[in-house]
């Protein structure tokens, strides 16, 4: 196997750290691009500081000798954004920053760029068991999703103009060792034994474990059929919030104390306190169809949802000790 030299942006993040380790294990030569104030990822990875990621970033040194790129770096979605113009900030990093990297990469002879976008490009919720697919008309509802869609559109144009291959991947919620945000909060709730009003939620949500996502990213880095395609990715098993909490409680070794409050009551309560976004994630459905990945790439999730939850919990326990 040829040892492709791969640039990973966002290498210090939740996905990036684990991705770099997997690439090294599989024989890739890895280089990371980090901002000025970020630490070096690992001693056996060449690290290049590129400064702020925007439309003027100088990628020259980071791209020397690079064959392929996995672009993870982004301004991520936050629940309570405090900036005056969120869309402007998201566009500056996620759209202009991504397209600047792509233009520089094409000029440097990079063969393929794998872009980690977001399921938010499709929308926020699915209904009636109909799953999001790659063929759907994009319908982002927030500034983050809009910036990701605009980056995708620009990348496709650059691919057409330059011949550099582009692969776009839209993951749903990612969980795994080191997960933070809402998933970590759920684990703390369960461990505390606090009763939760989530015992009668009959939604369906797709998740993707860190291990499954990384395996898919590496597949898309090399597979000939992935060129210039867009993919959705998940664990291949959808669960309700109620079932997820029960299964997560099982691997945590504690019983999930769930009170069967109707979802309509929860949504009404959320409306009065301004927590509609959080409740939408807990009570709404968001399902993705990964059939294209199975058929075109021959890819299936290597680990199950329960195995992904177990690895997440084991890692969390190790950090506590």
| Contact partners, residue 58, CB within 8 Å, separation at least 6 | 50, 51
**28: annotated active-site residue:** no
DSSP letter for each residue of 20-56 = HHHHHHTT-EEEEEE-TTSPPS-TTSEEEE--S-STT
Neighbours of 89 (CB within 10 A): 16
Nearest by Cα to 186 from 14, 320, 309, 13: 309
Neighbours of 38 (CB within 10 A): 15
Rg (CA), the chain: 20
**CA angle, 224 as apex, 220 and 226 as ends, to 5°?**
45
**CA angle, 264 as apex, 262 and 265 as ends, to 5°?**
70
Q: Tell me which H or E stretch contains 239.
A: none
Torsion of CA 287, 194, 320, 235, to 10 degrees: -10
Instruction: Choose, from 28, 115, 144, 175, the residue flagged as catalytic.
Output: 144
Q: Which residues are catalytic?
A: 144
């Amino acid at each position: 196997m040829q040892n492709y030299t791969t640039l990973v942006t966002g290498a210090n993040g939740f996905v990036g750290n684990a991705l770099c380790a997997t690439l090294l294990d599989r024989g890739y030569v890895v280089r990371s691009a980090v901002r000025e104030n970020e630490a070096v990822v690992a001693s056996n990875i060449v690290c290049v500081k590129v400064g702020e990621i925007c439309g003027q970033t100088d990628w020259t040194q980071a791209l020397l000798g690079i064959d392929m790129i996995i672009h993870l770096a982004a301004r991520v979605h936050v629940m309570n954004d405090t900036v005056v113009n969120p869309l402007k900030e998201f566009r500056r990093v996620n759209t202009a920053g991504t397209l600047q990297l792509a233009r520089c990469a094409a000029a440097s002879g990079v063969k393929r760029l794998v872009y980690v976008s977001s399921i938010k490009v499709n929308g926020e919720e699915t209904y009636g068991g109909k799953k999001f697919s790659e063929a759907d008309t994009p319908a982002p509802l927030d500034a983050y999703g809009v910036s990701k869609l605009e980056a995708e559109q620009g990348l496709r144009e650059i691919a057409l103009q330059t011949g550099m291959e582009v692969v776009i991947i839209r993951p749903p919620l990612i969980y795994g060792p080191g997960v933070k945000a809402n998933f970590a909060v759920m684990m703390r709730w369960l461990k505390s034994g606090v009763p939760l009003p989530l015992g009668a939620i009959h939604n369906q949500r797709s998740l993707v474990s860190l291990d499954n996502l990384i395996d898919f990213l590496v597949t898309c880095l090399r597979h000939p059929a992935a060129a210039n395609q867009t993919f959705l990715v998940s664990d291949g098993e959808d669960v309700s919030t109620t079932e997820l909490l029960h299964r997560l409680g099982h691997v945590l070794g504690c019983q999930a104390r769930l009170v069967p409050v109707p979802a309509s009551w929860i949504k009404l309560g959320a409306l009065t306190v301004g927590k509609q976004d959080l409740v939408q994630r807990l009570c709404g459905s968001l399902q993705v169809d990964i059939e294209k990945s199975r058929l075109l790439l021959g890819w299936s999730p290597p680990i199950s949802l329960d195995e992904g939850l177990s690895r997440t919990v084991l890692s969390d326990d190790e950090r506590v000790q």
